Chain A
Amino acid sequence: MNINFNRRNFVLGHHPTWRFQIGSCVNEALQVAFKHLPYSHLRKCMQVSKSWRRLALEELQTRCIIHVSNVNHIKMVLQKLHGCANFRIGKCSLVNVGLDNVLLHKLFFKVQNSLHLLKLVHLAEIDELLLFKILNQLPNLTHLSVTSTTSKAEALNESHDHREECFKFPLLSGRTNAVYSPEKYDHGRSNMGEEANYANCNIHFKYKSIVHLHLDLGPHVAFQLGKIFQVFPNLIELAIANVREETRRKFLKSGEGLAAQYPQVKLKRLTLRQYSSIGFHEKLVQTLMRLNMHLEKLVVIFHPPSKALHSTSSLFRQFIESQGCSLKILKLEQVEDHLSLCISTDTSGNAQEQMMLSCVGPGKHDYYWDFNYTSPSISLLPMCLSNLQVLHVQKPLITNLAQVLHHFPSLKELSLRVCYGSNWKGMLPVKLEPHEKITRLKIDFIDSDSFARLGYCFPSLQTLQLSYCNESLFYVLCDSIPYFNGGGNLISCQQCHGTTQEFSVVKVKGRSDDETLNSVRREDAGVTGPSTNAMSTFRNNRCCPPMASSSTQNSNSQREKLLPREQRKKNPFKNLTLLTVRTCDHLPYEKFAFLQRENHSRTQSITFEDICNAEIDVGNCGEYPHNGFSWQESTIMDEHFVDFPVVDSSENESCSSA
């Protein structure tokens, strides 16, 4: 069967019921089909036949992209437009071309019917009024991207992430660096008349994609959003900053008439002054929920419990849960005099940005939303977040760890913090199901009873940080983690607050747990001399007055009760490679001989004597001075791990003598 698509009224098809006349419709069908073809296919189609060429060219011409980086290019394009009547341009990229150029306006006049994408890359700030005039010329524009760079090399490099230009809706000039203040607010209100004029100009942009507008909406978010939605009815993505309190009703009303159900709203960073000037209450949480932000990281810092409302707590839980699968990092913390809600929608994986975001400290960076909010009187957890990977939480916000682990199956890092004078007793139930994915754990004030069960709850644990551990916990550590006292290397030791010490012990690479354990046992049995025998020194010191207090003896007896011998032999912390311990003020450090022993090793660790003589430098610990929790992320252990060729000489001696 021969088919000639160019012939009209041709009968096609072999099925008796599917006979139809095709000639009249094939061009229309091809026209539709060509819209779905990629560029390379269209170029191929142009060479098939004359009719295909015509159809493909029509489609192709609407997709034509021009890159203009100087005036000569504009002349060439204008010549092309003049010479080819059917030629149309769909996309235009302007790199550092003055918007006041007459030729450019002529070009826009020529392409005004076909141009649907405009990208402006400038080395300097763009005159917003000129841009507004140009946009007025382009009624069919659907995508607008405005970026600015600091160098020409960046401008010419398409793959470079350009710095976004700060525009104020609706492209008013002279307000690019406005910072919120009562005076500025009044200024903003006076400008609202101009905004209304713009809105009444019957400008009907068809923006559908990212509009790089940095919006300073002021307190009347709903009103301003309503304006934006009127001008950009097809908007699906909008970058805004500084969203303040709003009522749900107003916001819903402002969203009426949107083509998209809700626009994707990206929240941008605030300046430090903005950060400190925003109020917070429940309505803002409601507004944030409606904004459908899909956050990746969320940090909520609360005041200590006071007159909090139950409803607010559940509202917060709803807000957090509404982020769904996108939320990967959640930090719920409590401080005394600072409260903030830190929000980032950054999904680009920008390392620098992530790092800055992870270092949340009042007044340090400008990524925060600061809300006056007191912590809820009921716990926020559990909540269902299937993709959450990092959870930092304090005790008032959590009641039962088993529930938390059950609802966060993807969790990899867990940080459990408590206020001073409290502990995790009761938080870790006896029957806690193992969570296989957690590899990092930070925990404060854990009691020895809970710690004894910890290894069995987290079998994949690689990094463990214990803060404020007491003497009885130290005994459990020595029993549970062999290399802690026998075969590990001390990699850091520093003084934090007063007499509080922090030291990290890393497992020696290539040495098995059994080997370490045997070494410790040999030492324990008195095979080597007391000067190099860590465990026996430890025990000798423990028995010497005044160290051998009644509390110590009680701890020792408790230790025997807490950890059955069979369980201790199993070594639940077999995957642990780094242990960091922060001791309490009252712990008698001199009892722990391995600290002194490290002085003889070839590691570059700081000895206990060095610490005693060193000046106290609290500032280096990266902590809040008021409650002592650190926002520093754990360092990757492998870096230390690989570069550890040193085996303790005392270990070699003990092995050779054995």
Chain B
Amino acid sequence: MALVRVISSDGAAFLVSQRLAKRSGKLKTEIETFRKSSDNSEAQPEIRIVTIRAEILRLVLQWLQQHQNDPVLPANQNEQDGRGDAEMGQSQWDRDFLAPMDLGIVMELILAANHLEVKGLLDITCKLVESKITGRTVDEIRTAFKLKSDFKGNEEEQTRLENRWCVEN
């Protein structure tokens, strides 16, 4: 089985099958580039991901492994409405996968999924963020994200009115 060596920003190496790695758009491109540039077709590709640390990369690979038999979603799917099919496609495993994570890790996962072009993971993580916002007031959102309002005076009201004339499609 052809393998590829994926190295995180902190130097941890992960050996994964090329089939699994190619489910990430970024890794797929990297592997193909390596194949074109390399004379030795048997050589093992080595890809260094400088923006993702080992723990997050491990989680991404773990998610990819779980969903290795899912159909690959095109990158531009549902781009127009800005939402993926995460709600429909989110499995119990996905929910269990995300449940113990802190919001910070989810944020890093969003970035990693975005960087590695793993649309399914990006969808479910963004959906998680969306779920923290849906149906909540502004104060409740602040509580959920542990933030404090830094607006002064009537800035908040002005903000609300600023884009009032923009109409939702």
Q: Which of B56, B129, B148 has the most CB of A within 10 A?
A: B129
Number of interface residues of B (CB under 8 A): 48
Q: By the criterion CB–CB under 8 Å, are A13 and B141 in contact?
A: no
Contacts of A644 in B (CB 8 A): none
> What total of A-B pairs shows CB separation below 8 Å?
133
Known: A13-B105, A20-B53, A60-B166. A48 touches B145 (CB 8 A): yes
Q: By the criterion CB–CB under 8 Å, are B133 and A13 in contact?
A: no
Within 17-50 of A, Cβ neighbours of B (below 8 Å) are at 17-18, 20, 22, 25-26, 28-30, 32-33, 35-41, 43-50
Any chain B CB within 8 A of the CB of A2?
yes
CA distance A53 to B105 in the complex (A): 22
CA distance A57 to B160 in the complex (A): 11
Any chain A CB within 8 A of the CB of B32?
no
Known: A2-B146, A25-B111, A49-B142. A91 touches B169 (CB 8 A): yes
A48-B138, A65-B168 known, 15 other contacts, Cβ within 8 Å = A15-B102, A17-B55, A18-B102, A25-B111, A29-B111, A32-B122, A33-B130, A36-B127, A43-B160, A44-B136, A48-B147, A49-B149, A50-B150, A64-B163, A208-B79
Q: By the criterion CB–CB under 8 Å, are A53 and B159 in contact?
A: yes
Q: By the criterion CB–CB under 8 Å, are B163 and A43 in contact?
A: yes
Contacts of B130 in A (CB 8 A): 33, 36-37, 41
Contacts of A30 in B (CB 8 A): 107
Known: A13-B105, A209-B80. A49 touches B150 (CB 8 A): yes
Chain A residue nearest in CB terms to B163: A60
Q: Which of B76, B79, B133 has the most CB of A within 10 A?
A: B133
Q: By the criterion CB–CB under 8 Å, are A49 and B126 in contact?
A: no
Contacts of B167 in A (CB 8 A): 65, 67
Q: By the criterion CB–CB under 8 Å, are B129 and A12 in contact?
A: no
Any chain A CB within 8 A of the CB of B82?
yes
Q: By the criterion CB–CB under 8 Å, are B110 and A13 in contact?
A: no
Q: Which of B56, B101, B136, B141 has the most CB of A within 10 A?
A: B141
**B133: contacting residue among A17, A44, A91, CB under 8 A:** A44
How near does chain A come to B20, taking the closest CB pair, in angstroms? Answer: 22
Within 191-212 of A, Cβ neighbours of B (below 8 Å) are at 208-209
CA distance A288 to B87 in the complex (A): 36
Contacts of B147 in A (CB 8 A): 3-6, 48-49, 52
How near does chain A come to B29, taking the closest CB pair, in angstroms? Answer: 15
Q: By the criterion CB–CB under 8 Å, are B82 and A64 in contact?
A: no
CA distance A43 to B157 in the complex (A): 12
Chain B residue nearest in CB terms to A39: B168
Within 371-414 of A, Cβ neighbours of B (below 8 Å) are at none
Any chain B CB within 8 A of the CB of A586?
no
Q: By the criterion CB–CB under 8 Å, are A36 and B84 in contact?
A: yes
Contacts of A143 in B (CB 8 A): 80
12 A-B residue pairings within 8 Å (CB atoms): A12-B102, A20-B104, A22-B104, A29-B108, A35-B82, A36-B84, A37-B129, A39-B169, A46-B159, A46-B160, A208-B79, A234-B76
Within 61-82 of B, Cβ neighbours of A (below 8 Å) are at 76, 79-80, 82
Contacts of A1 in B (CB 8 A): 146
